[in-house]
Amino acid sequence: MSSTILRTATRYMFPPLLVFSIYLLFRGHHFPGGGFVGGLFAGSAFSLYALAFSVSDARRILRSDPRDVTAAGLALALISGIPPLFSGHAYLTGTWWMLTLPSGVHLDIGTPLIFDIGVYFVVLGVVLTLVFALGEEQ
């Protein structure tokens, strides 16, 4: 599977795919998207890279082992449930902080966002753990 066309296309496609996956992750709270589909998207971006080049190349640009990515995501999701405990609420209750940017825009930052980022990394890690393991068997 070493086609020059696929490689060249992948080289151009890969960054926008990743950016789009992050876009999906962040827009998820108001519009279709979210951590799950975002993570799948990022996973397919890396899988595409692995197909076009090689698994070891894909591993190199991911920088860390996909299993670590999974663990980090799971840890992030677990931790995101802790802040509400300090205000006497149940574990994983959504807790929000209102931020007003200097330009006057209001921004809601909440624990569900952190949780969603955790989901994103878990899904990304799980997909790549399997794809890389299968791909390396060649």
Partner 1 sequence: MLWLISICLLAAVAAPFVYRFFPRHTGVLLLPAPLAMVYWLFARLPEVMHGHPVVQRFTWVEGLGLEAAFRLDGLSLLFALLISGIGSLIVIYTQGYFKGHPQQGRFMMYIIAFMASMLGVVLADHLLLVFIFWELTSFTSYLLIGFNHESEAARAAALQAMLVTVLGGLFLLAGLVLTVNATGSWLLSDIIESGAALREHPHYLPILILVCIGAFTKSAQFPFHFWLPNAMQAPTPASAYLHSSTMVKAGVYLLARLHPALSGTSEWTMILTGVGLITFLSGAFLAVGQHVLKRLLAYTTVSALGAMVMLLGVGTEETIKAMTAFVLAHAFYKAALFMVAGGITHETGGETSVDKLAGLRKAMPFTFVFAMLAGLSMGGFPPFFGFVAKESWLHALGHYPLLIVATVAGGAAYVLVGISVGFKPFLGHMPEGLHAHEMPWSMRIGPMVLGGGSLLLAFFCGTIGHALVEPAASAIAGDALHVHLHLWAGFNQYLLISIATLLLGIGCYFVRPVFLKTALRLHPLVKAGPDAVYSLLLKSVLRFAGWQTRLLQTGILRDYIRITVIAVVVLVGAAFYRAGGFHGLEELSPVSVRIALVAVLMILAALVTVSSRSRLRSILSMGVVGYSIALLFSFFGAPDLAMTQLVIETLTVILMALAFYHLPTFKHGSLKRTRAIDAVLSVGVGVAVTLLVIAALHVHTPTPVSDYYLEHSYKEAHGRNVVNVILVDFRALDTLGEITVLTIAALGGYALLKLRPEKGGES
Q: Which residues bind partner 1 (CB under 8 A)?
A: 24, 28-37, 40-41, 43-44, 47-48, 51, 67, 70-71, 73-74, 77-78, 81, 91-92, 94, 96, 108, 110, 112-113, 115-116, 118-119, 122-123, 125-127, 129-131, 133-135, 137-138
Buried b (16+ CB within 10 A) or exposed e, 25-62: bbebeeeebbbbbbbbbbbbbbbbbbbbbbbeebbeeb
Q: Which is nearer to partner 1, 5 or 98 (CB)?
A: 98
Q: Which is nearer to partner 1, 74 or 86 (CB)?
A: 74
Give the pair of three-digit tokens for residue 89: 């609420």
Residue 13: CB minimum distance to partner 1, A: 13
Helix (H, G, I), strand (E, B) or coil at 22: helix
Q: Give counts: helices (H), strands (E), the chain.
A: 6, 2
Q: Which is nearer to partner 1, 22 or 40 (CB)?
A: 40
